[in-house]
Amino acid sequence: MSTQRVALISGANKGIGFETARQLGKQGITVLMGARDLAKGQAAAEQLKKEGIDARAVKFDVVNAADIKAAAEKIEKEFGKLDILINNAGVMFEPIGGNNTSSVPDDVVRKTFDTNFFSAISVTKAFLPLLKKSDAGRIVNVSSILGSLTLHATEGSPIYEAKALAYDASKAALNSFTIHLAHELKGTKIKVNSAHPGWVKTDMGTDAAPMNIVDGAKTEVELATLGADGPTGGFFHMGEAINW
């Protein structure tokens, strides 16, 4: 079994996932960059290799069961374990702002949940045996402040007027998965947390976002590298807890 720390990041060929891979790689962690398009993943990995990072592309469409199985088998064969799993891949098909609750198409809700919720469960279950072989397994579910039921229900909160049902509900469900899995793994060496990266300048966040990608990756990286005394079963942004 490899003594090198190994991280798998879904949706890592661009945006926050790519920057998360860079920051983890700078800490000497081998980063496996999951990408739906292997060529794009390889191009991203080559970019990080030029910075001295041990980056490797993995074909990894999180809604494709065959990809998940193949990636798990590959990592088991090459490393014998997994130290960090970051469920970073996510989609948003709705406009930011307003309220689309009664008009959002059913297929948009289903497609959003397929990537943002159901795939996170499938991926995590597939890699849990490898994470259990780590001395300090870390699972980071990349959520959003838009998944906070408390803030959505609180008039005057930063997100009170921004309601996109499919996306918000998928992230609330993901947070529930975090809580449940952390409880199941309580007393083990594995920690499970949800991360709110912030509103970041990415393809999804648009140029209207106030945060840059470097800062947007910091919460994922922090939760991926928690010490033994770090929290589990929480929801965080830049070290601060967020209300569920």
Structure confidence by residue, pLDDT tens digits, 28-47: 999 999 999 999 999 999 99
Residue 196 lies in a domain: yes
pLDDT at 98: 83
pLDDT at 95: 86
Q: What is the DSSP letter of 33?
A: E
User: Catalytic residues, which ones?
Assistant: 167
Tokens for 151, please give them: 């803030």
Q: What is the CATH number of the domain that holds 158?
A: 3.40.50.720
The torsion defined by the Cα of 19, 21, 26 and 27, in degrees rounded to 10, comes to 130
Regions of the chain short of the pLDDT cut 50: 200-202, 205, 209
pLDDT at 214: 82
Residue 170 lies in a domain: yes
pLDDT at 1: 67
Order of strands across the sheet with 84-87? 55-59, 30-35, 6-9, 84-87, 138-142, 191-195, 235-237, 240-241
Residue 49 lies in a domain: yes
Q: Where are the alpha helices (DSSP H) in the chain?
A: 15-25, 38-49, 65-78, 106-113, 119-131, 149-152, 165-184, 213-216, 218-224
pLDDT at 97: 77
Q: Which residues pair with 30 in a beta bridge?
A: 6
In 3D space, the residue among 142, 177, 162, 161 whose CA is nearest the CA of residue 12 turns out to be 142
Range of the domain at 197: 6-241
Q: Where are the alpha helices (DSSP H) in 132-164?
A: 149-152
Residue 105 lies in a domain: yes
Between CA 83 and CA 176 the distance in angstroms is: 22
- 15 touches 44 (CB < 8 A): no
pLDDT at 212: 67
Between CA 126 and CA 81 the distance in angstroms is: 12
- 213 touches 203 (CB < 8 A): no
The pTM assigned to this predicted structure is 0.94
Residue 1 lies in a domain: no
Any residues with CB less than 8 A from the CB of 194 and at least 6 apart, and which? 140, 141, 142, 143, 147, 174, 175, 178, 234, 235, 236
Residue 83 lies in a domain: yes
pLDDT at 205: 47
**How many domains are contained in the chain?**
1
- 43 touches 55 (CB < 8 A): no
pLDDT at 201: 46
pLDDT at 118: 98
